[in-house]
Amino acid sequence: MARTNYVDLPVGQEDLYFSNLQSGDRFVFPRIVRKNAFFSRQKVANLTAKSYLPIISDLWAGFNDSEKSAWKAVDPTSHPHGWRTFVADQSKRIKRGYAGVATPSSFHQDLVGAINIESPAEEVLIAQYHPATYYIQKKVQGTKNTYEPVEITEALSLPFKISINYKTDLTTTGAGSFCKYYATVRHFYQGRDIESTVELSMPLSGGWATLDDTLSVVLGEVVGYTLFIHLYKVTGTLWFDLPKAEHAGQNWVRDPYCKDISQIFTRAYYQVPKNWAPITLPEGTDYDSVYPI
């Protein structure tokens, strides 16, 4: 197969070209491949047999209008949609073998982040770094599964608000135990490099709830920040979803819906930092995205 580096499309042929062809993995073996626009009856039957959609569609058809509206109301995206929210949740539920359907919750949707600590371990600290510039992995518009590294410039401006939805089932192992979500904000003032902290302390035991706080004023020029989730002198589990770090009218947290909080980027995305990087993660601890029950 020929390796293609550049294609100059004739005027008026763009729609025809993109309706039949697409880019392959351009980082390892750049090439143009055809789109599977049509499927045989056997392939359609095989795909349907493997899909959860027929089951989910039957469940959705049995909902009344208020139940459908309830799923739409908890969709945290900018364009809420009840069916889409229900499919995301129910497919995870079926895949993991859980019976029935979930109750729509404004605190979490399908997957959530989870940090688990088992004795003799008693501490976990993970971080998400937000320097002035960094890279993220972004889906290429108009493609099915093609991504590219994109450089982000994040100019932190005040006020700076953090918030998190959480549930805790933790047991203290000694004095000074805590469970926190916080941000350290770096700023320069009169030749000094200063850090200010905005912090949310979660109780060690409790059902789903939300905490938030705002940093409004610091001395000098703000240059960046780092987000932390820190569990200390405890065992048990913290579940969390929709963490936020808001400024300039936007939530800048990477993976805010906790689809894959421990994701590792490799190959062409080596310069993309982990969504949440482990700082303290001893044996007997782990963190990942899970389906809450």
Q: Are strands 285-290 and 123-130 parallel, antiparallel or unpaired?
A: unpaired
Residue 147: the pLDDT is 80
Q: Are 244 and 161 in contact (CB under 8 A)?
A: yes
CA 253 to chain centre: 8
Exposure of 145 in the CB half-sphere (CA atoms within 13 A): 4
Residues written for the chain:
293
Q: What's the CA gap between 66 and 240, in Å, rounded? A: 27
Nearest of 189, 164, 175, 166 to residue 238 by alpha carbon? 166
94, HSE (Cβ side, Cα atoms, 13 Å): 14
Is the preceding omega at residue 149 within 30 degrees of 0, hence cis? no
As a whole number of angstroms, the distance between CA 165 and CA 113 comes to 10
pTM above 0.85, yes or no: no
Contacts of 100 (CB under 8 A, 6+ apart): 93
> pLDDT (tens digit, 9 = 90+) per residue, 108-138?
989 999 999 999 999 999 999 999 999 988 8
Return the CATH fold of 113-290: Jelly Rolls (2.60.120)
Specify whether the CB–CB gap between 5 and 31 falls below 8 A: no
pLDDT of res. 146: 77
Domain segments of the chain as ranges: 41-104, 113-290
Quick: pLDDT tens for 202-221: 999 999 999 999 999 999 89
